Amino acid sequence: MAPLPQTLGELRASKFRSRPVKQEIRDNLVRKLQAGERLFPGIIGYDETVIPQLVNAVLSRHNFILLGLRGQAKSRILRGLVDLLDPQIPIVPGCEIHDDPRKPLCGACRARVAKEGDAMPIAWLPRESRYVEKLATPDVTIADMVGDIDPIKAAEAGLNLSDELTMHYGLLPRANRGIFAVNELPDLAGKIQVGLFNILQEGDVQIKGYPIRLQLDVMLVFTANPEDYTARGKIITPLKDRIGSEIRTHYPTTRQHAMAITTQEAWTERASGLEVEIPGYVREVVEEIAFQARADRKVDKRSGVSQRLPITTLELVISNAERRALVNSEAVVVPRVTDVYAALPSITGKFELEYEGELRGAENIAKDLIRSAVGSVFTGMFDGADTRTVVEWFDLGGTLQLSDTTPAADVIAQTCALQGLSDLAARAGAIPGAPAPIVASAIDFVLEGLHAQKKISRSDERGYAAAADSAPRRPTRREEQLMDEELQIPKGAKKKYYN
Ligand SMILES: [Zn+2]
């Protein structure tokens, strides 16, 4: 590749031509489409829905808005637009609005070009510096967004439309020749929306009563909660008219997509020297919590349940398992389904509750969601499996006392008398010869699954016992036989967990 021009003269002699930013983004997208490149890498589950609409908006050179609930990768998509910019563009060095050396906007740069001519050095701005992002809040001012002027200086200079020497630039002018992203657009005061619109439409804006001319070249992109955006009066109509495309985002539609996102985002590779092995059913349960929450009428649909819920939950689940492995000197970190309960701190803050949910309390709602999630995953995996012998052991008075710090070997020892349990554990992936932490995790999953199906009971202190409605009753003939065989109740079983 030829070295980049370093002076205005070299730039003029080169083939380089600046294009309006939306044209530049379009050109690069066209090239990527022709080359069959993957667009928006890292965005999962939008291939058939959001991405085609996004591509069309860019091909149309639209300003656009992403409408979606929290945790739907809206900001990530917008940041991904940076990949569609040229690697670098020429600018007048030091210019705050990144003026094009060939046709500068600001008075200072125009004066410089006139004075220095072809000898003027130029600089190159990398694309990462051409993306400006702002979270809209009601207290954002015109000064923040567009800029401010010193009224005394302005009066002294006898300011007119084209004199911007006295201006302190805000975020939008600093995004000139780049992308300006405003998150949560409806939170922006109407006055600021008018300012944005004026600058888009007319290329000028009034600041403290002084008209300022700014012919900016910016791609404007926005995000909003769909209900806020469509609510009457939240967005001024002329601005809405200037937004070429409205694109709806969504939560993952399948558990597989959701798991792929969480796998990509969660911090799972710990450097504690221990091997981390996350059973598939633990991942599924973590994911299913979000699905359950999004469908739960006690959880506020309007604010949504972010994909960050399963991501942070998985991280805490692994940490709880890591803690257990460290204190018990186990070499492999294998999360258990019960570790999910230790992740409540990452769940309760990730949703808003409806009135009915408030009454029940966030922590109880979270526990209900976990239990439903375990039930859903367990039922899917153990459909048609024979769990009777395990349930009968509890019905006959067997109890277990486990905690989330119980070493794997203890879990296995405590449950070795439960007929059929190891077959069920094998079905969950604990094949014969598997390391103890894997077997213990599978056993834990079976117990939690039976608890979720209400076949056995479990106290908050994790004592497992017969289901509340299964005793007292007359023993079946099979149970009488078993009793004749003097079934051993495990040692250390705590009677207080009997039902
Ligand atoms: Zn300039």
Nearest to 281 by CA among 49, 449, 457: 449
**Helix, strand, coil distribution of the chain in percent, nearest 5:** 45, 15, 40
CA 98–ligand 1 middle distance (angstroms):
6
CA 18–ligand 1 middle distance (angstroms):
15
Is residue 163 pLDDT above 70, yes or no?
no
CA 93–ligand 1 middle distance (angstroms):
9
* Mean pLDDT over each residue of the chain, to the nearest integer: 88
Is residue 343 pLDDT above 70, yes or no?
yes
CA 110–ligand 1 middle distance (angstroms):
7
CA 103–ligand 1 middle distance (angstroms):
9
CA 144–ligand 1 middle distance (angstroms):
19
CA 99–ligand 1 middle distance (angstroms):
5
pLDDT value at residue 158: 63
Report field, pTM of the whole predicted structure over 0.75: yes
pLDDT value at residue 213: 78
Helix (H) / strand (E) containing 283: helix 280-295
CA 121–ligand 1 middle distance (angstroms):
14
The upper half-sphere exposure of residue 82, i.e. CA atoms within 13 Å in the direction of its Cβ, equals 17
- CA geometry: angle at 410 spanning 407 and 411, to 5°? 90
CA 145–ligand 1 middle distance (angstroms):
18
CA 226–ligand 1 middle distance (angstroms):
38
> Residues 102-140: pLDDT tens digits?
999 888 899 999 999 999 999 999 999 999 999 999 999
Is residue 494 pLDDT above 70, yes or no?
no
CA 61–ligand 1 middle distance (angstroms):
25
> Is residue 289 within 8 Å of residue 310, measured between CB atoms?
yes
Highest mean pLDDT out of 24-28, 139-143, 358-362, 433-437: 24-28
CA 107–ligand 1 middle distance (angstroms):
7
- What number is the average pLDDT over the span 287-299? 95
Name the token pair of 166: 């006295």
pLDDT value at residue 428: 93
- Residue 386 carries which side chain, given as an amino acid letter? D
pLDDT value at residue 157: 65
CA 396–ligand 1 middle distance (angstroms):
84
Please, is 170 exposed, middle or buried when counting C-beta atoms within 10 Å of its C-beta (0-12, 13-18, 19+)? Answer: buried
* Bond prior to 211 in cis (omega within 30° of 0): no
Is residue 159 pLDDT above 80, yes or no?
no
CA 78–ligand 1 middle distance (angstroms):
26
CA 92–ligand 1 middle distance (angstroms):
7
CA 112–ligand 1 middle distance (angstroms):
9
CA 483–ligand 1 middle distance (angstroms):
91
Among 122-136, 189-203, 324-338, the range scoring the smallest mean pLDDT is: 189-203
The whole-angstrom separation of Cα 336 and Cα 157 is: 72
CA 284–ligand 1 middle distance (angstroms):
54
CA 222–ligand 1 middle distance (angstroms):
26
Q: What are phi and psi of 236, to 5 degrees?
A: -65, 140
Among 154-163, 274-283, 472-481, the range scoring the smallest mean pLDDT is: 472-481
CA 106–ligand 1 middle distance (angstroms):
4
CA 60–ligand 1 middle distance (angstroms):
29
CA 134–ligand 1 middle distance (angstroms):
22
pLDDT value at residue 75: 94
CA 42–ligand 1 middle distance (angstroms):
36
Classified as helix, coil or strand, 39 is: coil
CA 243–ligand 1 middle distance (angstroms):
27
CA 104–ligand 1 middle distance (angstroms):
6
CA 317–ligand 1 middle distance (angstroms):
52
CA 165–ligand 1 middle distance (angstroms):
10
Is residue 165 pLDDT above 70, yes or no?
no
DSSP 5: P
Is residue 492 pLDDT above 80, yes or no?
no
- What number is the average pLDDT over the span 163-179? 84
Residue 496's pLDDT band, with cuts at 50, 70 and 90, is very low
Residue 490's pLDDT band, with cuts at 50, 70 and 90, is very low
DSSP string, 325-364: HHHTT-SEE---GGGGGGGHHHHGGG--B-HHHHHH-HHH
pLDDT value at residue 82: 97
The whole-angstrom separation of Cα 41 and Cα 404 is: 38
CA 101–ligand 1 middle distance (angstroms):
8
CA 142–ligand 1 middle distance (angstroms):
20
Highest mean pLDDT out of 18-32, 141-155, 235-249, 477-491: 18-32
Share of the chain above pLDDT 70, in %: 91
- What number is the average pLDDT over the span 212-238? 88
Q: Which residues pair with 211 in a beta bridge?
A: 206
CA 108–ligand 1 middle distance (angstroms):
6
DSSP string, 434-458: --HHHHHHHHHHHHHHHHHTTSEEE
Share of the chain above pLDDT 90, in %: 67
Is residue 498 pLDDT above 60, yes or no?
no
The whole-angstrom separation of Cα 107 and Cα 37 is: 41
Among 169-178, 187-196, 266-275, 434-443, the range scoring the smallest mean pLDDT is: 266-275
> Residues 82-94: pLDDT tens digits?
999 999 999 999 9
Q: What are phi and psi of 168, to 5 degrees?
A: -95, 115
> Is residue 343 within 8 Å of residue 320, measured between CB atoms?
yes
